[in-house]
Amino acid sequence: MAPAAPPTPALSLRDVVALSGRFPLLAGVDLEVGTGEVVLVEGPNGAGKTSLLRVAAGLVPVTSGRLTVLGLDPERYRTAVRRRVGMLAHASHLYDDLNVRENVRFAVRAAGADPGRIGPACERLGLTGRLLRTSAAKLSAGQRRRVALAVLVARAPDLWLLDEPHAGLDASARTLLDELIGEAVATGATVVVASHEPELLEPLADRSVTVSGGRVTGERSIRSPVADVPVPVRAVGSAAPASGPPVERVGSAEPAAGPPEGVGSAAPAAGPPEGVGSAEPAAGPPVERVAHVA
Amino acid sequence: MWRDAALVAGKDLRIEARSKVALSQVAPFGVVALGLFAFALGPDRAPMVSGAPGLFWVAVLFSTVLAIQRSVSVESADGARDGLRLSGLDPAGLFLGKALAVAAQLVVLELVLTVGVVLLYGAAVKTVWLIAVACLLGTVGLAAAGTLYGALSAGIRVRETLLPFLLLPVVTPILLAGTRIWQAGLAGGTPSDATPWLHLLLAFDAVYLAVGVVVYGPIQEAT
Protein backbone atom coordinates (compact mmCIF):
# COMPACT_ATOMS: atom_id res chain seq x y z
CA MET A 1 0.00 0.00 0.00
CA ALA A 2 1.36 3.39 -0.99
CA PRO A 3 2.15 5.79 1.82
CA ALA A 4 -0.40 8.56 2.36
CA ALA A 5 0.44 11.82 0.64
CA PRO A 6 1.46 14.62 2.99
CA PRO A 7 -1.36 17.06 3.71
CA THR A 8 -1.46 20.16 1.54
CA PRO A 9 -0.24 23.19 3.47
CA ALA A 10 -2.75 25.98 3.91
CA LEU A 11 -0.14 28.49 2.87
CA SER A 12 3.13 27.94 1.10
CA LEU A 13 5.63 30.53 -0.02
CA ARG A 14 8.78 29.42 -1.81
CA ASP A 15 11.40 32.09 -2.41
CA VAL A 16 8.62 34.62 -2.89
CA VAL A 17 9.64 38.08 -4.01
CA ALA A 18 7.04 40.84 -4.18
CA LEU A 19 7.64 44.38 -5.33
CA SER A 20 5.78 47.65 -5.12
CA GLY A 21 7.13 49.37 -8.19
CA ARG A 22 10.85 48.73 -7.77
CA PHE A 23 10.60 48.68 -4.01
CA PRO A 24 10.98 45.21 -2.49
CA LEU A 25 8.18 44.26 -0.13
CA LEU A 26 9.23 40.64 0.23
CA ALA A 27 12.75 39.62 -0.67
CA GLY A 28 12.63 35.85 -0.97
CA VAL A 29 10.30 34.49 1.68
CA ASP A 30 10.09 30.80 2.43
CA LEU A 31 7.23 29.86 4.70
CA GLU A 32 4.94 26.92 5.03
CA VAL A 33 1.88 26.93 7.24
CA GLY A 34 0.07 23.68 7.87
CA THR A 35 -3.69 23.37 7.91
CA GLY A 36 -5.05 24.17 11.35
CA GLU A 37 -1.86 25.82 12.47
CA VAL A 38 -1.65 29.21 14.19
CA VAL A 39 1.48 31.05 13.14
CA LEU A 40 2.57 34.28 14.72
CA VAL A 41 4.53 36.65 12.50
CA GLU A 42 6.82 38.98 14.41
CA GLY A 43 9.18 41.71 13.35
CA PRO A 44 9.91 45.42 13.62
CA ASN A 45 8.03 48.15 11.77
CA GLY A 46 8.48 47.86 8.03
CA ALA A 47 9.92 44.35 8.28
CA GLY A 48 7.38 42.97 5.82
CA LYS A 49 4.73 41.46 8.10
CA THR A 50 1.82 43.26 6.49
CA SER A 51 3.27 42.66 3.04
CA LEU A 52 3.51 38.95 3.81
CA LEU A 53 -0.18 38.88 4.72
CA ARG A 54 -1.18 40.96 1.69
CA VAL A 55 0.75 38.65 -0.60
CA ALA A 56 -0.92 35.65 1.02
CA ALA A 57 -4.31 37.30 0.49
CA GLY A 58 -3.50 37.86 -3.17
CA LEU A 59 -3.63 41.64 -2.82
CA VAL A 60 0.00 42.02 -3.88
CA PRO A 61 1.20 40.00 -6.87
CA VAL A 62 4.18 37.69 -6.57
CA THR A 63 7.05 38.85 -8.77
CA SER A 64 9.00 35.62 -8.50
CA GLY A 65 8.85 32.45 -6.46
CA ARG A 66 5.89 30.21 -5.82
CA LEU A 67 2.81 30.89 -3.74
CA THR A 68 0.00 28.50 -3.03
CA VAL A 69 -2.95 29.33 -0.82
CA LEU A 70 -5.15 26.47 0.36
CA GLY A 71 -3.43 24.32 -2.23
CA LEU A 72 -4.34 26.66 -5.11
CA ASP A 73 -2.46 29.17 -7.19
CA PRO A 74 -4.12 32.47 -6.19
CA GLU A 75 -3.31 34.07 -9.55
CA ARG A 76 -5.11 31.35 -11.42
CA TYR A 77 -7.96 30.70 -9.02
CA ARG A 78 -8.35 34.23 -7.72
CA THR A 79 -12.05 34.20 -6.92
CA ALA A 80 -12.05 30.72 -5.41
CA VAL A 81 -9.07 31.52 -3.19
CA ARG A 82 -10.32 34.91 -2.06
CA ARG A 83 -13.67 33.52 -1.03
CA ARG A 84 -11.87 31.12 1.31
CA VAL A 85 -9.45 33.69 2.75
CA GLY A 86 -10.39 36.34 5.28
CA MET A 87 -8.18 39.24 6.22
CA LEU A 88 -8.37 41.59 9.15
CA ALA A 89 -6.25 44.49 7.96
CA HIS A 90 -5.34 47.90 9.38
CA ALA A 91 -8.28 49.32 7.45
CA SER A 92 -11.74 48.05 8.30
CA HIS A 93 -13.05 48.08 4.70
CA LEU A 94 -16.28 49.76 5.82
CA TYR A 95 -18.50 52.21 3.96
CA ASP A 96 -19.14 55.26 6.13
CA ASP A 97 -22.59 55.90 4.64
CA LEU A 98 -23.84 52.39 5.41
CA ASN A 99 -24.79 51.26 8.88
CA VAL A 100 -23.22 48.34 10.70
CA ARG A 101 -25.79 45.77 9.58
CA GLU A 102 -25.58 46.89 5.95
CA ASN A 103 -21.80 46.79 5.96
CA VAL A 104 -21.68 43.29 7.37
CA ARG A 105 -24.44 42.06 5.09
CA PHE A 106 -22.77 43.45 1.98
CA ALA A 107 -19.34 42.02 2.85
CA VAL A 108 -20.74 38.59 3.67
CA ARG A 109 -22.97 38.39 0.59
CA ALA A 110 -20.15 39.67 -1.63
CA ALA A 111 -17.98 36.82 -0.40
CA GLY A 112 -20.70 34.33 -1.19
CA ALA A 113 -20.98 33.25 2.45
CA ASP A 114 -24.15 32.17 4.21
CA PRO A 115 -26.15 35.29 5.22
CA GLY A 116 -27.64 33.23 8.03
CA ARG A 117 -24.38 33.61 9.92
CA ILE A 118 -24.60 37.42 9.98
CA GLY A 119 -26.90 37.67 12.99
CA PRO A 120 -24.98 35.30 15.27
CA ALA A 121 -21.67 36.88 14.25
CA CYS A 122 -22.87 40.40 15.04
CA GLU A 123 -24.28 39.23 18.34
CA ARG A 124 -21.02 37.53 19.22
CA LEU A 125 -19.13 40.75 18.60
CA GLY A 126 -21.56 42.78 20.65
CA LEU A 127 -23.05 44.50 17.63
CA THR A 128 -26.67 44.57 18.69
CA GLY A 129 -29.59 46.95 19.08
CA ARG A 130 -29.02 50.53 18.02
CA LEU A 131 -25.41 49.85 17.17
CA LEU A 132 -26.54 47.75 14.21
CA ARG A 133 -28.34 50.77 12.78
CA THR A 134 -25.48 53.19 13.43
CA SER A 135 -23.63 54.41 10.39
CA ALA A 136 -20.01 53.32 10.19
CA ALA A 137 -18.90 56.96 10.12
CA LYS A 138 -20.03 57.32 13.73
CA LEU A 139 -18.19 54.29 15.06
CA SER A 140 -15.03 54.44 17.15
CA ALA A 141 -11.88 52.73 15.91
CA GLY A 142 -12.52 49.80 18.24
CA GLN A 143 -16.13 49.44 17.07
CA ARG A 144 -15.01 49.50 13.44
CA ARG A 145 -12.59 46.73 14.32
CA ARG A 146 -15.43 44.74 15.85
CA VAL A 147 -17.49 45.13 12.67
CA ALA A 148 -14.55 43.93 10.58
CA LEU A 149 -14.23 40.97 12.94
CA ALA A 150 -17.94 40.24 12.64
CA VAL A 151 -17.52 40.04 8.87
CA LEU A 152 -14.65 37.62 9.33
CA VAL A 153 -16.61 35.45 11.75
CA ALA A 154 -19.68 35.40 9.49
CA ARG A 155 -17.58 34.54 6.46
CA ALA A 156 -15.85 31.71 8.35
CA PRO A 157 -12.90 31.53 5.95
CA ASP A 158 -10.49 28.61 5.82
CA LEU A 159 -7.48 30.89 6.16
CA TRP A 160 -7.50 33.83 8.57
CA LEU A 161 -4.92 36.54 7.96
CA LEU A 162 -4.86 38.90 10.91
CA ASP A 163 -2.78 42.06 10.88
CA GLU A 164 -2.29 43.52 14.35
CA PRO A 165 -5.69 42.15 15.37
CA HIS A 166 -5.55 43.49 18.92
CA ALA A 167 -4.97 47.08 17.83
CA GLY A 168 -7.79 49.37 18.92
CA LEU A 169 -9.63 46.70 20.89
CA ASP A 170 -10.44 46.96 24.56
CA ALA A 171 -9.62 44.19 27.03
CA SER A 172 -12.91 42.33 26.62
CA ALA A 173 -12.71 42.47 22.83
CA ARG A 174 -9.14 41.18 22.95
CA THR A 175 -10.26 38.24 25.02
CA LEU A 176 -13.12 37.65 22.61
CA LEU A 177 -10.74 37.80 19.66
CA ASP A 178 -8.56 35.14 21.27
CA GLU A 179 -11.63 32.96 21.74
CA LEU A 180 -12.63 33.45 18.12
CA ILE A 181 -9.19 32.45 16.93
CA GLY A 182 -9.34 29.34 19.08
CA GLU A 183 -12.79 28.46 17.75
CA ALA A 184 -11.73 29.02 14.16
CA VAL A 185 -8.78 26.67 14.60
CA ALA A 186 -11.00 24.12 16.28
CA THR A 187 -13.16 24.06 13.16
CA GLY A 188 -10.13 23.44 10.97
CA ALA A 189 -9.19 26.96 9.94
CA THR A 190 -5.61 28.16 9.68
CA VAL A 191 -4.51 31.44 11.21
CA VAL A 192 -1.55 33.61 10.34
CA VAL A 193 -1.31 36.60 12.61
CA ALA A 194 1.13 39.51 12.50
CA SER A 195 1.61 41.37 15.71
CA HIS A 196 3.82 43.77 17.60
CA GLU A 197 2.51 42.27 20.79
CA PRO A 198 3.57 38.65 20.53
CA GLU A 199 3.03 38.08 24.23
CA LEU A 200 -0.71 38.47 23.64
CA LEU A 201 -0.82 35.84 20.94
CA GLU A 202 1.78 33.35 22.05
CA PRO A 203 -0.73 31.41 24.15
CA LEU A 204 -2.66 30.73 20.95
CA ALA A 205 0.18 30.20 18.52
CA ASP A 206 1.87 26.97 17.53
CA ARG A 207 4.84 28.65 16.01
CA SER A 208 6.38 32.05 15.60
CA VAL A 209 8.31 33.33 12.60
CA THR A 210 10.40 36.47 12.59
CA VAL A 211 10.39 38.68 9.54
CA SER A 212 13.04 41.27 8.88
CA GLY A 213 14.03 43.09 5.71
CA GLY A 214 11.32 41.30 3.76
CA ARG A 215 12.62 37.85 4.68
CA VAL A 216 11.86 35.20 7.25
CA THR A 217 14.93 35.38 9.45
CA GLY A 218 14.00 33.00 12.20
CA GLU A 219 11.33 30.82 13.63
CA ARG A 220 10.63 29.11 16.86
CA SER A 221 8.24 26.57 18.12
CA ILE A 222 5.90 27.71 20.85
CA ARG A 223 3.91 24.59 21.64
CA SER A 224 6.51 21.91 21.09
CA PRO A 225 9.83 21.31 22.80
CA VAL A 226 11.77 21.60 19.51
CA ALA A 227 14.58 24.08 19.84
CA ASP A 228 14.43 27.49 18.22
CA VAL A 229 16.10 27.55 14.85
CA PRO A 230 17.57 30.18 12.61
CA VAL A 231 16.27 30.10 9.05
CA PRO A 232 18.73 30.07 6.17
CA VAL A 233 18.19 33.14 4.05
CA ARG A 234 19.04 33.19 0.39
CA ALA A 235 20.18 36.22 -1.52
CA VAL A 236 17.40 38.06 -3.37
CA GLY A 237 16.96 36.71 -6.84
CA SER A 238 18.93 33.59 -6.08
CA ALA A 239 18.21 30.78 -8.45
CA ALA A 240 18.85 28.24 -5.76
CA PRO A 241 15.91 25.97 -5.12
CA ALA A 242 14.03 26.33 -1.88
CA SER A 243 15.31 23.03 -0.64
CA GLY A 244 18.92 23.82 -1.43
CA PRO A 245 21.67 24.74 0.95
CA PRO A 246 21.74 28.09 2.65
CA VAL A 247 23.63 30.58 0.55
CA GLU A 248 24.49 33.56 2.66
CA ARG A 249 23.50 36.15 5.20
CA VAL A 250 22.02 33.78 7.69
CA GLY A 251 20.73 36.03 10.37
CA SER A 252 22.75 38.83 8.86
CA ALA A 253 22.35 42.28 10.27
CA GLU A 254 23.05 43.70 6.85
CA PRO A 255 20.29 46.03 5.75
CA ALA A 256 18.04 44.94 2.93
CA ALA A 257 17.71 47.12 -0.11
CA GLY A 258 14.99 49.65 -0.25
CA PRO A 259 12.62 50.52 2.46
CA PRO A 260 13.51 53.59 4.43
CA GLU A 261 11.46 52.74 7.48
CA GLY A 262 12.31 49.66 9.38
CA VAL A 263 12.97 47.37 6.46
CA GLY A 264 16.62 46.81 6.17
CA SER A 265 17.20 48.28 9.55
CA ALA A 266 20.30 47.04 11.23
CA ALA A 267 18.32 46.82 14.41
CA PRO A 268 17.72 43.24 15.43
CA ALA A 269 14.28 41.91 14.87
CA ALA A 270 11.93 41.70 17.78
CA GLY A 271 11.36 38.24 19.10
CA PRO A 272 13.71 35.39 19.62
CA PRO A 273 17.33 36.30 20.04
CA GLU A 274 18.60 32.93 18.94
CA GLY A 275 19.92 32.95 15.45
CA VAL A 276 18.32 36.19 14.46
CA GLY A 277 20.75 39.01 14.16
CA SER A 278 23.70 36.71 14.52
CA ALA A 279 26.53 37.26 12.08
CA GLU A 280 27.48 33.63 12.33
CA PRO A 281 26.50 31.61 9.28
CA ALA A 282 24.47 28.51 9.85
CA ALA A 283 26.44 25.35 9.52
CA GLY A 284 25.22 22.42 7.49
CA PRO A 285 22.04 21.94 5.57
CA PRO A 286 18.98 24.10 6.05
CA VAL A 287 17.06 23.20 9.14
CA GLU A 288 13.75 21.59 8.44
CA ARG A 289 10.80 23.73 9.38
CA VAL A 290 8.77 22.82 12.37
CA ALA A 291 5.18 22.39 11.36
CA HIS A 292 2.47 21.59 13.81
CA VAL A 293 -1.05 20.63 13.15
CA ALA A 294 -3.33 21.55 15.95
CA MET B 1 -21.93 37.95 -12.56
CA TRP B 2 -25.44 39.41 -12.51
CA ARG B 3 -25.88 38.61 -8.82
CA ASP B 4 -22.65 40.45 -8.04
CA ALA B 5 -23.67 43.35 -10.29
CA ALA B 6 -27.00 43.71 -8.50
CA LEU B 7 -25.28 43.51 -5.11
CA VAL B 8 -22.74 46.22 -5.97
CA ALA B 9 -25.29 48.48 -7.67
CA GLY B 10 -27.59 48.14 -4.66
CA LYS B 11 -24.76 49.04 -2.32
CA ASP B 12 -23.72 52.11 -4.34
CA LEU B 13 -27.30 53.34 -4.70
CA ARG B 14 -27.91 52.86 -0.99
CA ILE B 15 -24.80 54.92 -0.27
CA GLU B 16 -26.10 57.60 -2.65
CA ALA B 17 -29.51 57.51 -1.00
CA ARG B 18 -27.82 58.20 2.34
CA SER B 19 -25.26 60.77 1.24
CA LYS B 20 -27.39 62.44 -1.49
CA VAL B 21 -24.25 63.68 -3.21
CA ALA B 22 -25.71 63.27 -6.72
CA LEU B 23 -28.94 64.96 -5.78
CA SER B 24 -27.56 67.80 -3.67
CA GLN B 25 -24.30 68.49 -5.51
CA VAL B 26 -24.03 66.90 -8.96
CA ALA B 27 -27.50 67.81 -10.26
CA PRO B 28 -27.30 71.43 -8.98
CA PHE B 29 -23.88 71.69 -10.60
CA GLY B 30 -25.40 70.66 -13.94
CA VAL B 31 -28.21 73.21 -13.57
CA VAL B 32 -25.71 75.94 -12.68
CA ALA B 33 -23.68 75.03 -15.78
CA LEU B 34 -26.82 75.35 -17.93
CA GLY B 35 -27.53 78.74 -16.35
CA LEU B 36 -24.00 79.96 -17.02
CA PHE B 37 -24.25 78.91 -20.67
CA ALA B 38 -27.52 80.86 -20.91
CA PHE B 39 -25.82 83.97 -19.50
CA ALA B 40 -22.92 83.55 -21.93
CA LEU B 41 -25.27 83.35 -24.92
CA GLY B 42 -27.16 86.51 -24.02
CA PRO B 43 -30.86 87.31 -23.85
CA ASP B 44 -31.75 86.28 -27.44
CA ARG B 45 -33.79 83.08 -27.48
CA ALA B 46 -32.67 81.85 -30.91
CA PRO B 47 -29.01 81.09 -30.10
CA MET B 48 -30.04 79.44 -26.85
CA VAL B 49 -32.52 77.12 -28.58
CA SER B 50 -30.08 76.23 -31.35
CA GLY B 51 -27.27 75.66 -28.83
CA ALA B 52 -29.44 73.80 -26.31
CA PRO B 53 -28.62 70.24 -27.46
CA GLY B 54 -24.87 70.76 -27.27
CA LEU B 55 -25.05 72.65 -24.00
CA PHE B 56 -27.24 69.92 -22.49
CA TRP B 57 -24.66 67.26 -23.32
CA VAL B 58 -21.71 69.37 -22.16
CA ALA B 59 -23.49 69.83 -18.83
CA VAL B 60 -24.14 66.07 -18.70
CA LEU B 61 -20.48 65.28 -19.40
CA PHE B 62 -19.19 67.61 -16.70
CA SER B 63 -21.69 66.21 -14.21
CA THR B 64 -20.70 62.67 -15.20
CA VAL B 65 -17.12 63.41 -14.18
CA LEU B 66 -18.35 64.36 -10.71
CA ALA B 67 -20.55 61.28 -10.45
CA ILE B 68 -17.68 59.00 -11.45
CA GLN B 69 -15.30 60.67 -9.02
CA ARG B 70 -17.82 60.06 -6.27
CA SER B 71 -18.19 56.43 -7.33
CA VAL B 72 -14.41 55.98 -7.15
CA SER B 73 -13.97 57.86 -3.88
CA VAL B 74 -16.56 55.63 -2.17
CA GLU B 75 -14.16 52.72 -2.66
CA SER B 76 -11.07 54.69 -1.68
CA ALA B 77 -12.03 55.34 1.93
CA ASP B 78 -10.99 52.87 4.65
CA GLY B 79 -9.49 50.41 2.18
CA ALA B 80 -12.92 49.54 0.76
CA ARG B 81 -11.40 48.71 -2.61
CA ASP B 82 -9.20 46.07 -0.96
CA GLY B 83 -12.31 44.79 0.76
CA LEU B 84 -14.03 44.37 -2.60
CA ARG B 85 -11.00 42.58 -4.03
CA LEU B 86 -10.76 40.30 -1.00
CA SER B 87 -14.43 39.37 -1.22
CA GLY B 88 -13.88 37.50 -4.45
CA LEU B 89 -16.60 39.36 -6.35
CA ASP B 90 -16.67 38.67 -10.06
CA PRO B 91 -14.81 41.66 -11.60
CA ALA B 92 -17.27 41.76 -14.50
CA GLY B 93 -20.15 41.90 -12.04
CA LEU B 94 -18.34 44.58 -10.08
CA PHE B 95 -17.89 46.66 -13.25
CA LEU B 96 -21.50 46.26 -14.31
CA GLY B 97 -22.75 47.03 -10.80
CA LYS B 98 -20.71 50.22 -10.49
CA ALA B 99 -21.74 51.29 -14.01
CA LEU B 100 -25.41 50.53 -13.30
CA ALA B 101 -25.39 52.68 -10.18
CA VAL B 102 -23.76 55.58 -12.05
CA ALA B 103 -26.25 55.15 -14.90
CA ALA B 104 -29.20 55.32 -12.51
CA GLN B 105 -27.87 58.61 -11.11
CA LEU B 106 -27.24 60.00 -14.61
CA VAL B 107 -30.81 59.23 -15.70
CA VAL B 108 -32.13 61.36 -12.84
CA LEU B 109 -29.59 64.06 -13.65
CA GLU B 110 -30.62 64.10 -17.33
CA LEU B 111 -34.27 64.43 -16.39
CA VAL B 112 -33.43 67.46 -14.26
CA LEU B 113 -31.27 68.98 -17.01
CA THR B 114 -33.94 68.36 -19.68
CA VAL B 115 -36.40 70.31 -17.59
CA GLY B 116 -33.70 72.97 -17.18
CA VAL B 117 -33.18 73.20 -20.94
CA VAL B 118 -36.91 73.62 -21.52
CA LEU B 119 -37.30 76.26 -18.81
CA LEU B 120 -34.05 78.20 -19.19
CA TYR B 121 -33.62 78.05 -22.96
CA GLY B 122 -37.27 77.89 -23.96
CA ALA B 123 -36.62 74.80 -26.08
CA ALA B 124 -39.62 72.72 -27.11
CA VAL B 125 -39.19 68.96 -27.30
CA LYS B 126 -41.08 67.76 -30.36
CA THR B 127 -40.00 64.13 -30.69
CA VAL B 128 -39.83 62.97 -27.10
CA TRP B 129 -38.94 59.36 -27.77
CA LEU B 130 -35.89 60.37 -29.81
CA ILE B 131 -34.63 62.51 -26.95
CA ALA B 132 -35.32 59.65 -24.51
CA VAL B 133 -33.45 57.09 -26.61
CA ALA B 134 -30.47 59.45 -26.98
CA CYS B 135 -30.35 59.96 -23.23
CA LEU B 136 -30.65 56.24 -22.53
CA LEU B 137 -27.91 55.20 -24.95
CA GLY B 138 -25.69 58.12 -23.97
CA THR B 139 -26.12 57.23 -20.29
CA VAL B 140 -25.05 53.63 -20.84
CA GLY B 141 -21.93 54.75 -22.71
CA LEU B 142 -21.01 57.43 -20.19
CA ALA B 143 -21.49 55.08 -17.24
CA ALA B 144 -19.46 52.29 -18.86
CA ALA B 145 -16.59 54.48 -20.05
CA GLY B 146 -16.63 56.51 -16.85
CA THR B 147 -16.49 53.43 -14.61
CA LEU B 148 -13.63 52.03 -16.66
CA TYR B 149 -11.56 55.22 -16.58
CA GLY B 150 -12.51 55.76 -12.97
CA ALA B 151 -10.93 52.40 -12.14
CA LEU B 152 -7.85 53.34 -14.16
CA SER B 153 -7.38 56.50 -12.15
CA ALA B 154 -8.39 54.95 -8.82
CA GLY B 155 -4.94 54.14 -7.50
CA ILE B 156 -3.45 57.46 -8.52
CA ARG B 157 -3.09 60.31 -6.05
CA VAL B 158 -3.98 62.96 -8.66
CA ARG B 159 -7.10 61.15 -9.87
CA GLU B 160 -9.35 64.19 -9.38
CA THR B 161 -7.52 66.04 -12.15
CA LEU B 162 -6.54 63.01 -14.19
CA LEU B 163 -10.04 61.57 -14.60
CA PRO B 164 -11.55 64.46 -16.62
CA PHE B 165 -8.40 64.61 -18.70
CA LEU B 166 -8.75 60.91 -19.55
CA LEU B 167 -12.51 60.68 -19.81
CA LEU B 168 -13.72 63.78 -21.63
CA PRO B 169 -11.85 63.20 -24.91
CA VAL B 170 -12.95 59.57 -24.94
CA VAL B 171 -16.65 60.38 -24.65
CA THR B 172 -16.60 62.91 -27.49
CA PRO B 173 -18.62 60.52 -29.71
CA ILE B 174 -21.42 60.66 -27.14
CA LEU B 175 -21.37 64.45 -27.16
CA LEU B 176 -21.45 64.45 -30.95
CA ALA B 177 -24.12 61.80 -31.44
CA GLY B 178 -26.24 62.96 -28.50
CA THR B 179 -26.24 66.53 -29.77
CA ARG B 180 -27.28 65.51 -33.29
CA ILE B 181 -30.11 63.29 -32.03
CA TRP B 182 -31.29 66.04 -29.71
CA GLN B 183 -31.29 68.49 -32.59
CA ALA B 184 -33.51 66.08 -34.52
CA GLY B 185 -35.72 65.60 -31.47
CA LEU B 186 -36.16 69.34 -30.87
CA ALA B 187 -36.85 69.98 -34.56
CA GLY B 188 -39.42 67.19 -34.77
CA GLY B 189 -37.20 65.11 -37.04
CA THR B 190 -37.87 61.58 -38.18
CA PRO B 191 -35.95 58.51 -36.97
CA SER B 192 -34.07 58.37 -40.27
CA ASP B 193 -32.50 61.75 -39.45
CA ALA B 194 -30.90 60.28 -36.35
CA THR B 195 -30.19 56.70 -37.45
CA PRO B 196 -26.41 57.02 -38.04
CA TRP B 197 -25.99 58.76 -34.70
CA LEU B 198 -28.05 56.15 -32.89
CA HIS B 199 -25.80 53.51 -34.44
CA LEU B 200 -22.75 55.39 -33.20
CA LEU B 201 -24.14 55.45 -29.67
CA LEU B 202 -25.01 51.75 -29.84
CA ALA B 203 -21.50 50.89 -31.04
CA PHE B 204 -19.91 53.03 -28.33
CA ASP B 205 -22.00 51.34 -25.64
CA ALA B 206 -21.24 47.85 -26.95
CA VAL B 207 -17.50 48.51 -27.13
CA TYR B 208 -17.18 50.03 -23.66
CA LEU B 209 -19.42 47.47 -21.99
CA ALA B 210 -17.44 44.63 -23.58
CA VAL B 211 -14.05 46.18 -22.81
CA GLY B 212 -15.13 46.95 -19.25
CA VAL B 213 -16.33 43.40 -18.58
CA VAL B 214 -13.02 42.01 -19.84
CA VAL B 215 -10.45 44.44 -18.44
CA TYR B 216 -11.99 45.77 -15.23
CA GLY B 217 -10.54 42.91 -13.19
CA PRO B 218 -6.96 43.28 -14.42
CA ILE B 219 -7.21 47.06 -13.96
CA GLN B 220 -8.38 46.58 -10.39
CA GLU B 221 -5.49 44.28 -9.64
CA ALA B 222 -2.94 46.59 -11.24
CA THR B 223 -3.97 49.93 -9.74
> Tens of pLDDT along A76-85?
888 888 889 9
Residue A6 has pLDDT above 90, yes or no: no
Q: Mind telling me how many Å the CA of B88 is from chain A's nearest CA?
A: 5
A98 vs B7, B14, B221: nearest CB: B14
Residue A199 lies inside a defined structural domain of this protein: yes
Contacts of A254 (CB under 8 A, 6+ apart): A266
Instruction: Report domain extents, chain B.
Output: 2-222
Residues of chain B contacting A86 with CB distance shorter than 8 Å: 86
What CATH number is given to the structural domain containing A67? Answer: 3.40.50.300
Task: Tell me how far apart the alpha carbons of residues B103 and B110 are, in angstroms, rounded to a whole number.
Answer: 10
**Residue in B18, B78, B86 closest to A59 by CB:** B86
By a Cβ cutoff of 8 Å, what residues of chain B touch chain A? 4, 7-8, 11, 14-15, 18-19, 74, 77-80, 82-90, 221
* Mean pLDDT (whole number) for B188-210: 89
Residue A218 forms part of a structural domain: yes
Q: Domain count of chain A?
A: 1
Output Rg (C-alpha) for chain A, integer angstroms.
19
Query: Which residues in chain B touch residue A95, judged by CB atoms under 8 angstroms apart?
Result: 11, 15, 74, 77-78, 80
Query: Is A278 domain-assigned?
Result: no
Residue A224 in this model has a pLDDT that exceeds 80 = no
Q: In what order do the strands lie in the sheet with A64-69?
A: A23-33, A11-20, A64-69
Q: Answer whether A89 sits within 8 Å of B14, measured CB to CB.
A: no
Domain assignment of residue A107, given as a range: 18-230
Residues B70-118 have pLDDT tens digits of 999 888 888 888 888 888 889 999 999 999 999 999 999 999 999 988 8
Please report which residue ranges of A168-276 form alpha helices under DSSP H: 171-186, 198-201
Q: Which residues of A touch B97 (CB under 8 A)?
A: none
pTM of the model: 0.79
pLDDT at A252: 35
Q: Tens digit of pLDDT for each residue in A227-245? A: 444 444 444 433 333 333 3
Task: Please judge whether A80 and B78 are an interchain contact, meaning their C-beta atoms are less than 8 angstroms apart.
Answer: no
Report if residue A265 sits inside a domain. Answer: no
pLDDT digits (tens, 9 = 90+) for A241-256: 333 333 333 333 333 3
Which residue of A61, A81, A89 is in closest CB contact with B82?
A89
- C-beta neighbour count of B6 within 10 angstroms: 14
Of residues A280 and B26, the one with the higher pLDDT is B26
Say which of A83, A96, A97 has its CB closest to residue B88. Answer: A83
Radius of gyration in angstroms for the set of CA atoms belonging to chain B, rounded to a whole number? 18
Is the Cβ pair A95, B15 closer than 8 Å? yes
Axis crossing angle, helix B2-19 with helix B45-76, rounded to the nearest 10: 110
A92 CB neighbours in chain B (<8 A) are: 78-79
For chains A and B, what is the number of CB pairs under 8 angstroms? Answer: 78
Report yes or no: A271 and A42 within 8 Å, Cβ to Cβ. Answer: yes
